[in-house]
Amino acid sequence: MCLIADIGGTNARFALVEEGSTSPQYERTLSCANYRTLIDAVLAYLEDVSQPMPESASLAIATPVSNDRVVMTNHIWDLSLEETRKSLGLKSLKVLNDYTALALSLPYLAKDDFHQVGGGIAVDKQSMAVLGPGTGLGVSGAIYAGDYWLPLQSEGGHASYGPLNDRETAVIEVIRKHRDHVSAESLVSGPGLVLLYESIARCDGVVHELLSPEQITKIALSKSNASAEEAVAMLCGILGSVAGNLALTLGARGGVFVGGGIVPKLGSYFDSSPFRTRFESKGRFSKYVSEIPTCVISSKYPALIGAAVAVKKHYGYLGATSVSS
């Protein structure tokens, strides 16, 4: 068996998988905030499912991964691969970026693992893109290489974002008073939704409550707060623009997939939100992107599948690995 995990800034999803399989077993989701270290979370998971420590592990973590030291972008966990492997008694430990793992899962998704928003038809064996707002904004893609798919190791969520209309300009000007760099992630994420909501209220001179992303989403969908409604709509629109840029950059004629924890909670609202219109709004290349399908991933643990795939030998270059001598 191999321990696999998808570790974000808020939740850590664990499972076990048979060698050579992509079907997770004993899936559990733990809150990162409840554990001082990753090691503590792993031990708690194995105790919960009454399983022994496996010989190997493949962990997808929401942070750049290139060497032994892994420091999470949106959480306090800070680990050494070598020290973690030894502490857990593993023979091998692989760590890769969570959206690199999600990109690896795309060819393995079944038709009922996602639903399409808008038009377009996927072209077989053409590049695919994936992005998703959660605690941060993950971005990646997968390129067909003949016998297998090559996932991209990207931090595209931190690319700069420029407003596309007068209203966004006004709101982002409010944001710029407090920060030098406005990235896509700073707007299209859980914290980004809060920032948009508060900035819209300030822009309009409206007194606003301090609310969580979940609370903002709830009152927006109930149409009980104009600032919240606009914030959710603006997030969807900006996500559409970022997704369209990604589609053009990668030539993602195999489809653009949306993951993360925020969009699935929007339900049917997202399908009629500004997302798809903004995705297709690319001037002379609007027709090109209009033919690319956009799909929301509904599979519960897609990045776990990618973490399982990542142990195959031709993915040895991904992330970083510690192996016992």
Query: What pLDDT does residue 199 have?
Result: 97
CATH match of 110-298 with 3.30.420.40? no
Spatial distance between the Cα atoms of 237 and 233, rounded to a whole number of angstroms: 6
Q: Which residues of 268-289 are buried (b: 16+ CB within 10 A; e: fewer)?
A: ebbeebbbbebbbbbeeeeeeb
pTM above 0.85, yes or no: yes
Mean pLDDT by 10 residues, the chain (325 residues): 92 93 93 94 97 95 88 88 94 93 94 95 97 94 92 92 95 93 96 97 92 96 96 98 98 97 94 98 97 95 93 82 76
Query: What pLDDT does residue 325 have?
Result: 58
Residues 294, 246: contact at Cβ < 8 Å? no
Task: Pick the closest to residue 186 from 220, 216, 161 (CA basis).
Answer: 161
pLDDT in tens, 182-231: 999 999 999 999 999 999 999 999 988 899 999 999 999 999 999 999 99
Residue type, 296: V
Query: What pLDDT does residue 245 have?
Result: 97
Question: 52 — phi, psi (to 5°)?
Answer: -75, 165
State the Cα angle at 266 between 178 and 151, rounded to 5°: 80
Q: Which CATH number fits domain 2-103+301-323: 3.40.50.880, 3.30.70.1450, 3.30.465.10, 3.30.420.40?
A: 3.30.420.40
For CA atoms 279, 132, 262, 120, give the dihedral sign.
Answer: positive
Indicate the domain borders of the chain. Answer: 2-103+301-323, 110-298
Q: Tell me whether the CATH fold assigned to 2-103+301-323 matches the one assigned to 110-298.
A: no
Spatial distance between the Cα atoms of 2 and 42, rounded to a whole number of angstroms: 13
